[in-house]
Amino acid sequence: MAEQLLDQVRDVVDGQIDFEGQKLAEVLATGLLAAVGAVSFLVGFFLQDIVLALRIGLAGTALTFLVVVPPWPFFKRNPVQWLPVGGGESATTTTQQNLVIDEKLLEKR
Amino acid sequence: MYNSLTRIQNVFGFFTTVAFVVAAIIAASDFTSPRTPSATIKTTNVQVVKGRPHYYSTKKEEYAIIKFSLDADLSSLFTWNTKQLFVYITAEWPAPPVGDSMNQTNKAVIWDSIITSPSADYLSNLGPATLKKLKRSAEGKSIDPSRGKLSFKNQKPKYQISHPTGKIAETDDVTLHVHYNVQPWVGMLTWNQNFDFGRWKKMGQGISKAFELPAIKKKDAEKSK
């Protein structure tokens, strides 16, 4: 019981996402931060207010952290389809598996 | 980007890059705002007295007390990136040629002041009541160029000036110069320049007519001795 709970906590903290999600996270982080930087400069320059520019920059960065860092469901939409363990049901039961390790053929039942 | 820790590192890493670039652009944006400072200064009352550099000193030195009137318009120096402005007035006079030391100038600050921009009011070294007043004067304004307008009549100098030799009375060709130093939030410190640089114009006037320091003023007490 406690172990299951710990595993769940570990999963959330670790927050792994799938490959498509990683690509999306990369694009989001770059795009959002660059946009925030541009907006904070332009607003500050045209309203002549450097404190406002600083606040926009920091708030935008906080927002980016919030969007990118947690493993949101939209980062996990394309989970990797692994092959079944042992190369499929037929393989495990009937035929031998041939594993090549260090150019030596290992035979395994 | 596969787990939370790498995502934190990536986002923070790119944030520092963005922050640096934005700061650089802000610093560069200073060149787009014109600077057209001007000042007129004249002396109103000049005295030279004898005094001691500190209480226990046995040496007596001559001190010049130069009162002045100043009208300065430094409002164009206040932009969104100006943190504070340091204004100072120097007295300058040529040194007599002694041996190899030709064309030297003596220079001493007689008065200075820090003018904060509203975004830096909290930094100013003022008492609570004065600070409150200062903050209220610019309430709702992100910049307040009117603070750059200075007008003093017969202002007492902050510093009485002397010379390493201890002699300063009857010095000729003394002029007062108005200087400023713009301290930005990000970017370089800039001083008043003697030439036009892009949209930054050189200081309009800001130099007084040459005057002579008078002979030592005798105190009545000293006369009777």
Q: How many whole angstroms from its chain centre is CA B5?
A: 49
Q: What is the pLDDT of residue B224?
A: 45
Q: Which two tokens stand for residue B92?
A: 């300058």
Residue given tokens 């410190």 in the structure block: B189
User: In a 3-state reduction of DSSP, which class is residue B69?
Assistant: strand
B8 Ramachandran zone, left/alpha/beta (phi>0; psi -120 to 50): alpha
CB-based contact B75:B82 (threshold 8 Å): no
CA distance A52 to chain B (A): 9
CB-CB neighbors (< 8 A) of B10 in chain A: 26, 29, 68
For residue A10, the distance in angstroms to the closest alpha carbon of chain B comes to 11
Q: With CB atoms and an 8 Å threshold, state whether B10 touches A33.
A: no
Q: Binning pLDDT at 50, 70 and 90, where does residue B78 land?
A: very high
- Contact pairs from chain A to chain B, CB under 8 Å: 84
Mean pLDDT, range A15-36, rounded to an integer:
93
Q: Quick check: B26 and A41 CB within 8 A? A: yes
For residue B22, pLDDT over 70 is answered with yes
Is B21 at the interface with chain A, CB within 8 A?
A: yes
For chain B, domain boundaries: 33-224
| Chain B residues with beta carbon closer than 8 angstroms to that of A49 | 80, 119, 142-143
B206, burial (CB in 10 Å: exposed 0-12, middle 13-18, buried 19+): buried
Write the CB contacts of B209 (distance below 8 Å, at least 6 apart in sequence). B42, B175
* Least confident span in A83-87, B9-13, B166-170: A83-87
- In chain A, what are the helix, strand and coil shares in percent, each to the nearest 5? 65, 10, 30
Q: Under an 8 A CB cutoff, do B4 and A71 touch?
A: yes
Picking from A14, A36, A48, the nearest residue to B80 by CB comes out as: A48
Helix, strand or coil for residue B86?
Answer: strand
Residue B35 has pLDDT above 60, yes or no: yes
> A104 pLDDT band (50/70/90 cuts)?
low
Distance from CA of B187 to the nearest CA of A (A): 13
**pLDDT higher than threshold 80 for residue B46:** yes
Please give the residue that has the higher pLDDT: either A99 or B115: B115
Question: Does ipTM surpass 0.85 in this model?
Answer: no
Residue indicated by tokens 């927050």? A15
| Residues paired with B144 in a beta bridge | none
Please check the confidence at residue B222 and state whether its pLDDT lies above 80.
no
Q: B6, B10, B16, B22: which to substitute to probe chain A, counting the most A Cβ within 10 Å?
A: B22
- pTM for the model stands at 0.79
Residue B134 · residue B147 · CB < 8 Å: no
